[in-house]
Structure 1
Amino acid sequence: MILQPLVHPVLIAVLAAALLFVVASGMRRAQGVGSRLLWVGRIVLVLACIAMLLRPGIPGVPGRIAASGLDVLVVVDTTASIVAEDWDGDRPRLDGVRDDVDAIVEAYPGARFALVTFDAEAQLRMPFSHDTTALGSAMEILAPEVTDRSRGSSIGVAHALVAQTLRSAAETGEGQARLVFYLGDGEQTSGGEPESFAESAPFVDGGLVLGYGTAEGGRMKRTSGTLGDDADAGYISYEGADALSVIDDEALGAIASDLGVAYQRRDAASAPDLPAAPRTTVDHATTASARIVGDLTWIPAIAFVAVLLLELGRATLRVVQLRRLAAPASAAVPPEPVPDPGPASGGRGEAAREGRGA
Structure 2
Amino acid sequence: MILQPVLHPVLLVLLCAVPAVFIVRALIRRTPPGRPIWALRLGMLVVVFAMLLRPGIPGGTSQTLATNTDVVIVVDTTASIVAEDWAGDEPRLAGVRADVQSIVDEYPGARFSLISFDAAAQLRLPLTTDATALMSSLDVMLPEITDRSRGSSISIANRMLTDTLSAAAKSSPDRSRMVFYLGDGEQTISRDPESFASAAKYVDGGLVLGYGTAEGGPMKKTTGRPSTGSGTQGGGSGTQGGDGEYIEYQGQKALSVIDEGNLKQISEQLGVQYQHRSVDAVITLPEAPTSTTDYAASGEVGNVIELYWVLALVLVALVGVEVARATMLVTRLRGLTRPSPDRGGAS
TM-score (norm 2): 0.62
The answer for the alignment partner of 2:143 in structure 1 is 144
Q: Does 1:270 align with 2:312?
A: no
The answer for the alignment partner of 1:98 in structure 2 is 97
Q: Secondary structure at the match of 2:97?
A: helix
The Cα shift of 1:287 comes to: 10
Q: Secondary structure at the match of 1:72?
A: strand
Are the aligned partners of 2:184 and 2:263 in contact in 1 as well (CA < 8 Å)?
A: yes
The answer for the alignment partner of 1:179 in structure 2 is 178
> C-alpha separation between the residues in 2 aligned to 1:170 and 1:157?
21
Are the aligned partners of 2:69 and 2:290 in contact in 1 as well (CA < 8 Å)?
A: no
Q: Does 1:237 align with 2:248?
A: yes
CA deviations over 1:223-268 (Å, ceiling 9, x no partner): 1112236554300111111100000000000000000000000000
The Cα shift of 1:171 comes to: 0.3
> C-alpha separation between the residues in 2 aligned to 1:286 and 1:223?
50
> C-alpha separation between the residues in 2 aligned to 1:86 and 1:194?
25
Q: Which letter maps to 1:211?
A: G
Output aligned runs, 1:1-358, within 5 Å. 66-173=65-172, 176-228=175-227, 230=241, 232-280=243-291, 282=293
The verdict on how the C-alpha distance between 1:221 and 1:256 changes in structure 2, with shifts beyond 3 A counting, is same
Task: Structure 1: state its 5+ residue gaps.
Answer: 1-63, 289-358
The verdict on how the C-alpha distance between 1:216 and 1:108 changes in structure 2, with shifts beyond 3 A counting, is same
Q: Secondary structure at the match of 2:246?
A: coil
> C-alpha separation between the residues in 2 aligned to 1:227 and 1:129?
26
Are the aligned partners of 2:68 and 2:290 in contact in 1 as well (CA < 8 Å)?
A: no
Are the aligned partners of 1:79 and 1:120 in contact in 2 as well (CA < 8 Å)?
A: yes
> C-alpha separation between the residues in 1 aligned to 2:127 and 2:162?
14
The verdict on how the C-alpha distance between 1:218 and 1:67 changes in structure 2, with shifts beyond 3 A counting, is same
The Cα shift of 1:173 comes to: 1.4
The answer for the alignment partner of 2:323 in structure 1 is none
> C-alpha separation between the residues in 2 aligned to 1:150 and 1:101?
25
> C-alpha separation between the residues in 2 aligned to 1:118 and 1:279?
28
Are the aligned partners of 1:69 and 1:285 in contact in 2 as well (CA < 8 Å)?
A: no
The verdict on how the C-alpha distance between 1:164 and 1:244 changes in structure 2, with shifts beyond 3 A counting, is same
Q: Secondary structure at the match of 1:234?
A: strand
Q: Which letter maps to 1:108?
A: Y
Task: Number of aligned residue pairs: give it.
Answer: 225
Are the aligned partners of 2:227 and 2:243 in contact in 1 as well (CA < 8 Å)?
A: no
> C-alpha separation between the residues in 2 aligned to 1:286 and 1:220?
51
Are the aligned partners of 1:120 and 1:154 in contact in 2 as well (CA < 8 Å)?
A: yes
Q: Secondary structure at the match of 1:133?
A: helix
The answer for the alignment partner of 1:48 in structure 2 is none
Pairwise CA RMSD of aligned residues?
2.1
Are the aligned partners of 2:221 and 2:242 in contact in 1 as well (CA < 8 Å)?
A: no
The Cα shift of 1:65 comes to: 7.3
Are the aligned partners of 2:223 and 2:242 in contact in 1 as well (CA < 8 Å)?
A: no
> C-alpha separation between the residues in 2 aligned to 1:254 and 1:76?
17
CA deviations over 1:299-354 (Å, ceiling 9, x no partner): xxxxxxxxxxxxxxxxxxxxxxxxxxxxxxxxxxxxxxxxxxxxxxxxxxxxxxxx
The Cα shift of 1:147 comes to: 0.4
Are the aligned partners of 1:68 and 1:111 in contact in 2 as well (CA < 8 Å)?
A: yes
Q: Which letter maps to 2:118?
A: D
> C-alpha separation between the residues in 2 aligned to 1:201 and 1:170?
12
Q: Secondary structure at the match of 1:101?
A: helix
Q: Which letter maps to 2:115?
A: V
CA deviations over 1:27-49 (Å, ceiling 9, x no partner): xxxxxxxxxxxxxxxxxxxxxxx
The Cα shift of 1:279 comes to: 3.7
The verdict on how the C-alpha distance between 1:161 and 1:78 changes in structure 2, with shifts beyond 3 A counting, is same
The Cα shift of 1:176 comes to: 1.4
The Cα shift of 1:282 comes to: 3.3
CA deviations over 1:59-95 (Å, ceiling 9, x no partner): xxxxx97542210000000000000000010000000
> C-alpha separation between the residues in 2 aligned to 1:287 and 1:201?
36
Q: Which letter maps to 2:255?
A: L
Structure with the higher fraction of residues in helix conformation: 1
Q: Which letter maps to 2:166?
A: R
Q: Which letter maps to 1:278?
A: P
The verdict on how the C-alpha distance between 1:70 and 1:175 changes in structure 2, with shifts beyond 3 A counting, is farther
Q: Which letter maps to 2:267?
A: A
Q: Secondary structure at the match of 2:224?
A: coil
